[in-house]
Each structure stands twice: as structure tokens, then as C-alpha cells.
């Protein structure tokens, strides 16, 4: 009698093509970010140092969005911080899966981003988690640092970034990050509530504050989650 028991799917591995694709993606983000920073009036040196230290395209894009919208420096910084808070959650989900050792776990937590954590947490054992995490991180870093170097050199050459569509990179990148989250009930409620808070405050609040306060959409999602039985996925 033939067995019909399904074999567990093997954990995903970062192939050479995946590695190159990841590096090219982060290269494009790095170039775009540096060009936008320099076009916004940041010196080439400050733009390069900021991207090396922060190493978060979405946080810097959020900063630029608030500053270009007329917000203050502090509002822009807080907006960038709000976007970056997800990295702490990612680190919390990753670190227990890694092999024991405080230095390694601290280093991994400091480099916990969406793609490398997503790849790592799908692995079956701590060694595989560690291997795929650092392979993905390497691809990201190679692309990112090459990108910000090239973008810094080209920042004063390209000119009007909106003419070639670079101003659309931040919303596109952010949607790519949160797209799968929006398929869950809690993620969808948080996204809709945060968007409504932001839209409601836009006509009356100082620039930057609507983005910052939209984080309370998470609180709405938590409240709905306690009042309404959850469904794991939206149709």
C-alpha cells in the first residue's frame, strides 16, 4: 500500500542568484537614498556617514519624507525611529533561534533586518539559522555599501530625482516590506487604522506628526484582537 504521508518541505536556502538579486536590490536602494539626501541639501560627507551608521534605508527615507514635507528635524528623526522600531521586534524573534553565545547574538541583533530575519527564521536548526542569516546579511551589506558609495559620487550629477522616478522608491520599498503583513488580520487592522490616523491629522497637525502618531494603529489592532476572535489570514 502506497503511503500518502506528505514529506516536510525543505527550508529555503539563499542561492547564488538570490544572493546577487539581494545585493543588486540594496545597491539600488543605496544609490537612490544618497542621491535624494544630497539633492535635499545634505553634504556628500554627511550623507555617506549617516548611511553607514544608520544602515536603514526605510528610516532615512522616512526622515526625508518628513523634512521634504516641511517638518522639523526632530519630527523627521522621530518618524525615522518609528519606522525602525520593527527591527527590535525582528531581533527578538531571531535571537532565540541562534546558537548560544552572547557576542554572536548581540551582533546578529544589531544586524536584524527584514530579509535576513525572514530567511533565518524559516530554518530548522540553529546552525542553519546562523548560516542563512549571515549569508543574506552579506548580500545586503555588499549591495548597500557599494550603493551608497556610488550614490555619493553621483549625487551632484543626476539632478532632479523626480524626473527619473527615484522619488517613488521609498513608498515602493515600504509596501514591499509590509505587503505580506497586511494579509494578516492584525496587520491589516493596524495598517488601516494607522493610515486613517495619518490622513485625519494631515490637515491640522504639523508636518511629520501624522506619520509619528500613526503608530497608534498598532494599539487599535491589539484592541480589536482582544475583542474579536482572530483569523490567521485574510482571503
Q: Is the pLDDT of residue 9 over 50?
A: yes
Conformational region of residue 6, where left means phi above 0, alpha means psi within -120 to 50, and beta covers everything else: beta
Task: Give the whole-angstrom CA distance, residue 204 versus residue 162.
Answer: 27
pLDDT at 101: 84
Contacts with 125 (C-beta within 8 Å, 6 or more apart), sequence order: none
pLDDT at 7: 40
pLDDT, tens digit, 9 for 90 and up, residues 166-190: 556 556 655 655 555 566 676 677 7
Domain residue spans of the chain: 17-178, 179-235
pLDDT, tens digit, 9 for 90 and up, residues 118-165: 888 888 888 899 999 999 999 999 999 999 999 898 876 665 555 555
Amino acid at each position: 500500500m502506497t503511503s500518502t504521508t506528505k514529506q516536510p518541505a525543505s527550508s529555503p536556502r539563499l542561492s547564488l542568484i538570490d544572493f546577487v538579486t539581494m545585493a543588486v536590490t540594496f545597491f539600488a536602494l543605496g544609490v537612490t537614498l544618497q542621491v535624494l539626501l544630497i539633492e535635499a541639501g545634505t553634504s556628500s560627507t554627511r550623507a555617506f556617514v549617516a548611511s553607514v551608521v544608520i544602515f536603514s534605508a526605510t528610516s532615512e527615507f522616512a526622515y526625508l519624507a518628513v523634512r521634504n514635507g516641511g517638518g522639523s528635524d526632530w519630527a523627521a528623526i522621530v518618524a525615522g525611529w518609528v519606522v525602525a522600531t520593527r527591527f527590535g521586534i525582528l531581533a527578538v524573534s531571531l535571537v532565540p533561534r541562534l546558537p548560544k553565545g552572547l557576542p554572536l547574538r548581540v551582533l546578529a541583533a544589531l544586524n536584524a533586518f527584514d530579509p535576513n530575519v525572514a530567511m533565518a527564521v524559516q530554518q530548522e536548526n540553529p546552525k542553519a539559522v546562523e548560516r542563512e542569516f549571515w549569508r543574506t546579511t552579506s548580500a545586503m551589506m555588499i549591495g548597500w555599501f557599494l550603493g551608497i558609495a556610488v550614490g555619493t559620487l553621483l549625487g551632484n550629477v543626476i539632478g532632479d530625482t523626480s524626473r527619473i522616478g527615484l522619488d517613488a522608491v521609498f513608498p515602493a520599498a515600504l509596501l514591499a516590506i509590509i505587503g505580506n503583513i497586511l494579509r494578516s488580520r492584525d496587520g491589516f487592522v493596524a495598517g488601516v487604522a494607522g493610515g486613517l490616523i495619518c490622513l485625519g491629522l494631515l490637515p491640522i497637525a504639523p508636518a511629520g506628526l501624522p506619520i509619528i502618531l500613526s503608530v497608534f494603529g498598532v494599539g487599535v489592532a491589539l484592541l480589536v484582537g482582544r475583542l474579536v476572535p482572530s483569523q490567521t489570514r485574510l482571503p
